[in-house]
A and B are shown apart, each in its own frame.
Chain A
Amino acid sequence: MGSPGIVDAAAYVPAMRLDRGAVFAANSWANPALRGLARGSRSMGNWDEDSITMGVEAARRCLAGRSRDEFTRLYFASTTPPFADRQCATVIAEALSLSDQLATVDLGNSRNAGMQALCEALRGEGSALVVAADTRRAKPGSVQELQYGHGSAALVLGNEGVVAEVVAEYRLARDFVDQFRGSGEDFDYRWEERWVRDRGLRSIVPGLVKGVLKKAGVAPGQLARLVLPAAPPRMTGAMAKALGLPPEAVQDGRLGDVGDTGAPHPLLLTVDALAESMPGDLVLVIGFAQGGIALLLKATENLPQWQRRNAQRLALSPPRPEKAYTKYLSFSGLLPMDFGMRAEAEAKTQLSAFDRHRAELTGFAGGRCPVCKTAQFPRSARCVNPDCNAEGEQELVLLADEPGTVTSFTQDWLAYTPHPPLQYGLASTDSGARVLMEFTECPLEHMRVGLPLRFVFRIHAIDSRRGYRRYFWKGAPAPSEVSAS
């Protein structure tokens, strides 16, 4: 058994990339100084995405070909969990159809929660899954609105097939309040930028770097890559120079096309760093908030194999430019668009019925007829096949990872959805199941009968009256279709 480390890692960035120029154009009347930030784009989750669904998506990318029973622990880190009292890690575990013999842990309250989850996970026995996701909100017209992005990352930790070993970990706890969000508040409050830079980053980060290198017995010049998520690019350059590193050793912070995703950001950038590293490279990852965490990783011989897998995953959600600023505001709950009377419909979820059908609803499992073997959704007491209709206990069959196709569809401008038109229709899965379902992430002109689908875990409905949301699976264009378009 080797030393513990990262066995797999994947990032997920929602396809929609909000054009910062469009944001600036709408808000320049209030703050012309935003012009300096009005370059590139930032990621924005679809209306049916939140920290749980984005976490599930990143985790699924790590799970292909893995046993669902191999994990002993699942950690979820977020400063934007959709529930204050309902553990997200457990929802994610059930969406991934993991064994219920699992320790589930939620971490939050800090932009460093993702790094904390990673450090905690490294200490336990057996394989662990670390998931981090954030959908940070920002006031319209604010700097954060332009700087933030939505995204997630997931890491599989274990001892076998390690891609990057953990060489050393070093932590500093310091209540440096560069920004905060009060309980129940919608937005972050930030102190003056120059003070954060001079008394925060420039004071805390060098200490972290020094501490971890000393612990590992590594000289600064031996570092191949530096991941320093929270800092502006100019600062990371200066920091690299101070360490004697070439500027290209500094990992790009993805501020140009994603934005700062918050808790998942150090992990998301670690995925990038590993994608660009060579076996034997030392990668230093810094997480900054309430002090900081420094983690020194060393890429192994397994890295190239992982890099090939990772490249394929990137095709799952290629960026889609978005210029509709009001769409972003509406999705973020910052603009009460008029969606008519149909939007008033009751979205209460009967929790007792939900509990009976959790495997179907959260895990997207169907039933398989014991007699004719037809897969079907939902699982039922009598087989749906008109040539069978046999009564009998149907075993669960996991549909979530099956390929599917569109059998019929519409694009409905009448039915309520926060993202009109509502696209839905009959989907057929490879194993023979048939499900009427919603489609998501499909440009209108690409929808057609026969379109290959992959299924994604999304918000099904939001019950704003009670603060609840329910989840189900939707059909999204398969990667081949996305790249073909």
Chain B
Amino acid sequence: MTGIRDKVTIVGMGCSRFGERWDCDAEDLMLEAFREASEDAGVQAEDLDAAWFGCYFDDASVGKSALPLANALRLRNIPVTRVENMCATGTEALRGAVYAVAAGACDVALALGVEKLKDTGYGGLPVGTPGTFTEQWRPNTSSPGSFAQLASAYSAEHRVKGEDLKRAMAHVSWKSHLNGAINPKAHLRRAVEIDTILGAPMVAEPLGLFDCCGVSDGAACAIVTRPEIARELGKTEIVTVKALQLAVSNGSEAGHQGWNGSYIHCGRLAGQRALEEAGVGSAPDEIDLMEVHDCFSITELVTMEDLGFAEEGQGWRAVLDGAFDRDGATPCQIDGGLKCFGHPIGASGLRMAYEVYLQLLGRAGDRQLPSPRLGLTHNLGGEPARCVVSVAVLGRND
């Protein structure tokens, strides 16, 4: 089974400037991203057959249903579907559009993700609405706190000293800030010293302020079609979807002692499935760059192991050795990552795909890596014990 491999081409992508966009509404962000993608693809709103709209927070952010996207772009009453799968929402929108095109249900589809977090008034993600039973016993967790637990379990499992892990985590953020500083669309565009990172105020032990990604507004989108239509549109440099996989927790990590808390069970599964779907034998050898879900520094560090870029328990050493720096074996977050873009949830997965797409097409400007052929994106929604993880592989196919 080759799954989705090479069945669908990305013909255009767009990404708004991310940041504290006090200047505009979510609708403006959507238009900003779409304008770029439309121009890139040579596809207008009226050419779209269907659209998938990703947005996580509903009333607090953009609004429920597919209406916000249909309104913002004045779509011609085509089918629009809102998807939400926590931090994997953007990639879920892409998956919907890609599957529809691959199925032949439509020729040209749009996937767009957006979030307007800064209008919620919170530093960090806003507080959600309570549910029924679960909220009656679960602690009142925050996102940093949920992921901080990874660090405690990782240290214990692999006998890594707290200060060693903290230094490796600091390196993760240091590297991303260095990358983000030269990206005009990033929110945080400043290099940060290791000592500043290590000395930052604690948010959730052991995660300090610089171990956490930013909180931003932003939108990103992709226009997808079949390869033959892409060629009809005059495209000669073809980027296809090599893999799009999703793994979802069923409660065993949070409720069964078989999981020790030091890795992401679904991250490993999604990674393995995606690499297999893409026909990648050895990720470190074949993947040229990756954009992973660095919501927190520890998440990126553990993800390097989960996706097979470092041996289990050795990720912290690989990070400190610079394996994922700009000039390392596999550059990670070459655009600055969530760390510098912030994490407008619905947009993030598509923002990652946008960077890989630019890099594959040689359009990444100052950030451009030497002729990459295969790139990977990774989204981790929820928390380590209860998560949805999407992994996509994009590649040149011309």
Chain A interfacial positions (CB closer than 8 Å to B)? 341-342, 344-350, 353-354, 356-357, 360-361, 374, 376-378, 380, 384-387, 407-417, 421-422, 424-426, 428, 432-438, 444, 448-450, 460-461, 470, 472
- Closest approach, in angstroms, between the C-beta of A401 and any C-beta of chain B? 17
Q: Are A347 and B121 in contact (CB under 8 A)?
A: no
Q: Which of A354, A432, A434 contacts B136 (CB 8 A)?
A: A354
- Closest approach, in angstroms, between the C-beta of B381 and any C-beta of chain A? 17
Instruction: Sample 12 A-B pairs with CB under 8 A, ordered by A number.
Output: A344-B127, A357-B136, A377-B255, A380-B255, A386-B252, A410-B145, A412-B145, A415-B140, A416-B127, A422-B141, A436-B254, A460-B137
Q: Are B140 and A461 in contact (CB under 8 A)?
A: yes
What's the A-B contact tally at a CB cutoff of 8 Å? 150
Residues of B within 8 Å of A345, CB to CB, are 127, 130, 140
Q: Are A349 and B136 in contact (CB under 8 A)?
A: yes
Which residue, of B127, B144, B149, B258, has the highest number of chain A Cβ atoms within 10 A?
B149
Given A408-B152, A413-B204, A472-B137: A342 and B127 interface contact (C-beta under 8 Å): yes
Q: Are A422 and B153 in contact (CB under 8 A)?
A: no
Q: In the complex, which residue of chain A has the Cβ closest to the Cβ of B133?
A: A353
Q: Are B136 and A346 in contact (CB under 8 A)?
A: no
Q: Are A361 and B137 in contact (CB under 8 A)?
A: yes
Q: Are A470 and B136 in contact (CB under 8 A)?
A: yes
Q: Are A424 and B145 in contact (CB under 8 A)?
A: yes
Q: Are B141 and A415 in contact (CB under 8 A)?
A: yes
Q: Are B256 and A376 in contact (CB under 8 A)?
A: yes
Q: In the complex, which residue of chain A has the Cβ closest to the Cβ of B384?
A: A408
- A414 CA to B142 CA in the complex, in Å? 7
Q: In the complex, which residue of chain B has the Cβ closest to the Cβ of A471?
A: B136
- A365 CA to B272 CA in the complex, in Å? 37
Q: Are B133 and A342 in contact (CB under 8 A)?
A: no
Q: In the complex, which residue of chain A has the Cβ closest to the Cβ of B212?
A: A414
- A437 CA to B255 CA in the complex, in Å? 11
Residues of B within 8 Å of A444, CB to CB, are 205
Q: Which of A361, A374, A408 contacts B153 (CB 8 A)?
A: A408
Q: Are A426 and B203 in contact (CB under 8 A)?
A: no
Q: Are A350 and B137 in contact (CB under 8 A)?
A: no
At the interface, yes or no: B161 with Cβ under 8 Å from chain A? no
- A342 CA to B142 CA in the complex, in Å? 10
- A350 CA to B138 CA in the complex, in Å? 14
The 7 A-B residue pairs with the shortest CB-CB distance, nearest first, are A412-B145, A410-B148, A449-B156, A408-B149, A424-B139, A415-B142, A411-B205
Given A408-B152, A413-B203, A472-B136: A385 and B144 interface contact (C-beta under 8 Å): no
- A349 CA to B130 CA in the complex, in Å? 9
Q: Which of A360, A413, A417, A432 contacts B140 (CB 8 A)?
A: A417
Residues of A within 8 Å of B153, CB to CB, are 407-408, 426, 449
Q: Which of B133, B203, B251 contacts A414 (CB 8 A)?
A: B203
Residues of A within 8 Å of B152, CB to CB, are 408-410, 425, 448-449
- Closest approach, in angstroms, between the C-beta of B220 and any C-beta of chain A? 26
Q: Are A426 and B130 in contact (CB under 8 A)?
A: no
Residues of B within 8 Å of A472, CB to CB, are 136-137
At the interface, yes or no: B372 with Cβ under 8 Å from chain A? no
- A376 CA to B257 CA in the complex, in Å? 9
At the interface, yes or no: B22 with Cβ under 8 Å from chain A? no
Q: In the complex, which residue of chain A has the Cβ closest to the Cβ of B156?
A: A449
- Closest approach, in angstroms, between the C-beta of B103 and any C-beta of chain A? 30
Q: Are A410 and B205 in contact (CB under 8 A)?
A: yes
Q: In the complex, which residue of chain B has the Cβ closest to the Cβ of A450?
A: B156
Q: In the complex, which residue of chain B has the Cβ closest to the Cβ of A407?
A: B261
Mask of B137-171 contacts with A, CB within 8 angstroms, 1/0: 11111101110111011011000000000000000
Residues of A within 8 Å of B122, CB to CB, are 341-342
At the interface, yes or no: B202 with Cβ under 8 Å from chain A? yes
Q: A409-B152, A414-B142 are known; give 16 further A-B pairs, CB within 8 A.
A: A342-B142, A345-B140, A350-B132, A350-B133, A360-B137, A361-B137, A376-B255, A407-B257, A408-B150, A411-B202, A412-B142, A412-B203, A412-B204, A417-B140, A436-B254, A448-B152
